[in-house]
A = this chain, B = another copy of it.
């Protein structure tokens, strides 16, 4: 892997965010602590200028509204023109017509580089029936990896599916990351933070491996935080931020539990 935490910290890429208003502070913190710089914006007229100083764009549909649709499309198109990566998080996409339409409109007008969601969200996009209950991933059955690859091939994008085991795939090669701690899922905003950390890694270098790096960073941070706070969910979460701020590549490599599944193996 040519990308690394040291490289993110040295490059200090700016990550621009069409953000979920609920979790903005946590997302900005996560981007910041891993060595990138966050900008959240709220006026579509500054989208292209802000893209000019940014190295990655995150579009989060969590608190989508009339104005965020415009912001998403304009900043996404500007990002496409500048060839900087666009990470989309389809929060609770199946929960409302507006969210589904917003996503459909977006992928018609903007080339998405990374889709990051839970299995219910990614399944909804891949057209696979999967129980979807609001913001939480459902418990239905199905082949998670197959769904991730299907979405990747449909969107011609990298796909990251968060869960007990995280999946990162380009539709052919895939990685399974088995780091993490379940307390990450019980804190609101960890998925949105993951988007930001992946964007920080991609803003440093565009590759499937950068998605793996970003995904594993947060999972490992969760694992380390849980060593100190196995049972206190909020102290755990505070600790995650400290760990993100201090993590280096040697710690990362010591913890990394990853399995590559080449295209032909499926």
A115: Cβ under 8 A from any B Cβ: no
Contact across chains for A25 and B28 when beta carbons are under 8 A apart: no
A250: Cβ under 8 A from any B Cβ: no
Looking at the assembled complex, report how far the CB atom of A45 sits from the nearest CB atom of chain B, in whole angstroms: 5
Contact across chains for B39 and A64 when beta carbons are under 8 A apart: no
Stretch among A29-37, A118-126, A167-175, A197-205 lining the B interface = A29-37
Alpha-carbon distance between A215 and B3 when the two chains are bound, in angstroms: 40
Alpha-carbon distance between A161 and B76 when the two chains are bound, in angstroms: 34
Contact across chains for B234 and A242 when beta carbons are under 8 A apart: yes
- Chain B residue with Cβ nearest A22: B24
A53: Cβ under 8 A from any B Cβ: yes
Using known A-B contacts A49-B97, A186-B32, A234-B241, determine if residue A43 contacts B21 with beta carbons closer than 8 Å.
Answer: no
A231: Cβ under 8 A from any B Cβ: yes
A26: Cβ under 8 A from any B Cβ: yes
A256: Cβ under 8 A from any B Cβ: no
Alpha-carbon distance between A45 and B69 when the two chains are bound, in angstroms: 13
- Hey, which chain B residues are within 8 Å of A46, CB to CB? 95-99
Contact across chains for A66 and B43 when beta carbons are under 8 A apart: yes
A81: Cβ under 8 A from any B Cβ: no
Chain A 11-54 interface 0/1 with B at a Cβ cutoff of 8 Å (1 = within): 00010000101111110110011000111111101100110011
Alpha-carbon distance between A133 and B66 when the two chains are bound, in angstroms: 29
21 A/B residue pairs, CB under 8 Å, sorted by A: A19-B22, A22-B28, A22-B40, A23-B25, A23-B28, A25-B25, A25-B189, A28-B189, A33-B186, A33-B233, A37-B134, A40-B62, A40-B63, A42-B68, A49-B95, A49-B98, A50-B96, A53-B133, A234-B238, A235-B238, A235-B242
Chain A positions within 8 Å of B, measured between CB atoms, are 14, 19, 21-26, 28-29, 32-33, 37-43, 45-46, 49-50, 53-54, 62-68, 92, 95-99, 133-136, 186-189, 231-235, 238-239, 241-242, 245-246
